Amino acid sequence: MNAALLGPLVAAVLVTAIARHLRLSAPLVLVITGLLVGLIPEIPEIVLRPELVLFVILPPLLWSAGLESSVISMRRTKSSIALLAVGLPLATTVAVGVVAYYTVPEFTLAAALTLGAIVAPPDAVSALAVGRRVGLPRPIMTLLAGESLLNDATALTVYKVSLAATIGVATGWGVGLLTFALAAVGGIAVGVAFGAVIVVIRARLTDPVVESAVGLLAPFVIYLAAEEIRGSGVLAVVVAALILGQRSTSAHYATRLQDQAVWRAAQLVLESLAFLLIGLQLPAVVQNLHGVRFSTLIVASLAVFGTLLAVRAVWVVTFAYAPRMLSKKVRQREPAPIPGQVFVLAWAGMRGVVSLAAAFGVPLTTLSGAPFPGRPQLVFLTFVVVVGTLLLHGLTLPWVIRRLGVPTDQDHADAIAAAAAQDKAALAAAQRLDEVLASTEPSPASERAADALRGLNTRRRNAARERLRRFDPDHDDSDETAAAAFRRLRLEMLAAERAALIRERDLGRIDDQVLRKVLHRLDLEEAQLNLD
């Protein structure tokens, strides 16, 4: 990593820290900061390298998002996700391509379709980061996650085909469909194979640090392996991550704790860098526009941006209601869509750094040596779409959600579900304890241990119910339950233990290694209490 990249990386993390402290949307603050910094003449120009995004930033972010995604939820909405991840990018590519062809005189039809493929997919980084920040409901986040994790494979494959046609490589519909099929099948095959292998490897490892190291390397290896066989690296990483995420419940608890911390930190660093880099591209984009008519750029920008919004809105609304209108089975099988959520989904089409990377990856010339038709306009229009969607949707989504009355708080429903599940789990634990005691010789020690375990089991059930009280607007904090009192008093005890241990270290009675081991146990207990 050279200094040219280290500076933006450090700046991105610092800006993110400030934005989070001020409770501002970090993605939007980073993009705006990048735009403002890019206007300073003394700042060195930083041109986005496609290989940095596609091979360094994208794989781990896809991996992290895949690990956090719910396979069960995505399976329930697989039809909707398929329409959004395959059908919508193709429709957007064609619509934007046709509009761009007629508004930018320098474009050939193939070059215009290349632009359409570049701006077609909502970005996984942008969609999920902004979606989390504005509090999108979980059903919408599930659809956005499934769409943004898979649509890059569709759009990037179409991008390769249309780009090849533009630079002079002979292609046709048959070749394009074959390329698409091979990319999809190859990517899925590589993802399944590597996912299965990593599951086996991690099951045989007993060192959480080594397990996390394997997880850190996996997305890069999988992405490169899939791309080497002309498969979709995006699909391969996503499929493998979904497999690993589904199997994470069988991993060691220390591995889960460590993976969660590692990937949250990596996600913050990479997302921050990606959003800052978007804003920093302004000088490079403007520099290439010498000789291009300003009026043409304005007309093309408005036409392409408006087409992008319109196609998504029409597509989402059509496929939300048309199947129910045409099929009685669909009406019986699926609940009616909620208008507010449908509109929010149609409005949440943020583009991101992957689109910019694809635009900057367009060659300067064709195979004949002629300039690539309309390349400066292509890069500029991509920049307009990316920054425009991030700012427009990011700034207006909170207002739209409030205006439409779309619920954004899943905590209450989660608490109800968790309390019910904890009740069942506690009953199963109590039953198993009775079975074990019945099969062994009774002793005073086992009876004392059983009493302590029954008390712990009861506290866990009460803690789950206690979480429900937090959503009761008439709850009086003075009416403290036993579970709440236990949590409050135990946290005070832990704080005293921690202070005493640190004092022992400061007096030289224990060293730092001993202190860290003991503090780790206290930290795990405090984490459990705060989770309850």
Write the secondary structure of 407-437 as one string of H (helix), E (strand) and C (coil): CCCCHHHHHHHHHHHHHHHHHHHHHHHHHHH
Integer Cα distance of 127 and 314 in angstroms: 19
Cβ neighbourhood burial of 425 (10 Å; 0-12, 13-18, 19+): middle
Could you count the other beta carbons within 10 Å of the beta carbon of residue 229? 13
Integer Cα distance of 117 and 308 in angstroms: 11
Q: What's the count of helices (H) and strands (E) in the chain, helices before strands?
A: 24, 0
Integer Cα distance of 102 and 3 in angstroms: 43
* 265-319 pLDDT tens trace: 888 898 888 889 888 888 888 877 877 888 889 999 999 999 999 999 999 999 8
Closest CA to 125 of 152, 159, 92: 152
- Output b/e per residue, 440-455; b: 16+ Cβ within 10 A: eeeeeeeeeeeeeeee
DSSP letter string, 290-356: TT--HHHHHHHHHHHHHHHHHHHHHHHHHHHHHHHHH-HHHHHHSPPPPHHHHHHHHH-----HHHH
Q: Write out the two tokens for 11.
A: 């700046």
Residues in the chain: 532
Kind and range of the H or E run holding 386: helix 375-404
Residue with tokens 């359409």: 116
Helix intervals (H) in 205-252: 208-228, 233-247
Integer-rounded Cα Rg, in Å, for the chain is 27
Sort residue 23 into left (φ over 0), alpha (ψ -120 to 50) or beta: left
Residue 353, CB-side half-sphere exposure with 13 Å CA sphere = 35
Note the pLDDT of residue 408. 59
Residue 281: φ, ψ to 5°: -80, -5
Integer Cα distance of 337 and 329 in angstroms: 15
Closest CA to 11 of 41, 40, 34, 42: 34
Low-confidence ranges of the chain (pLDDT < 70): 1-4, 124-136, 169-176, 249, 330-335, 407-426, 460-485, 513, 531-532
Note the pLDDT of residue 404. 81
Integer Cα distance of 40 and 211 in angstroms: 44
Q: How far is CA 73 from CA 39, 82, 463, in A?
A: 44, 14, 27
Note the pLDDT of residue 223. 94
Note the pLDDT of residue 113. 92
Integer Cα distance of 106 and 214 in angstroms: 48
* 8-56 pLDDT tens trace: 889 999 999 999 888 888 888 998 998 898 888 777 778 778 888 888 8
Note the pLDDT of residue 416. 63
- Give residues with Cβ within 8 angstroms of 199, minimum separation 6: 243, 244, 247
Integer Cα distance of 364 and 370 in angstroms: 9
Q: Would you tell me the crossing angle of helices 26-38 and 375-404 to the nearest 10 degrees?
A: 150
Integer Cα distance of 248 and 69 in angstroms: 12
Whether the CB-CB separation of 30 and 15 falls below 8 Å is answered with: yes
Cβ neighbourhood burial of 531 (10 Å; 0-12, 13-18, 19+): exposed
Note the pLDDT of residue 94. 94
Extract long-range pairs of 69-73: CB within 8 Å, 24+ residues apart: 69/142, 69/145, 69/146, 69/149, 69/241, 69/242, 69/245, 70/142, 71/242, 71/245, 71/246, 73/138, 73/142
Cα 103 from chain centre: 34
Residue 245: φ, ψ to 5°: -65, -40
Closest CA to 316 of 348, 291, 355: 348
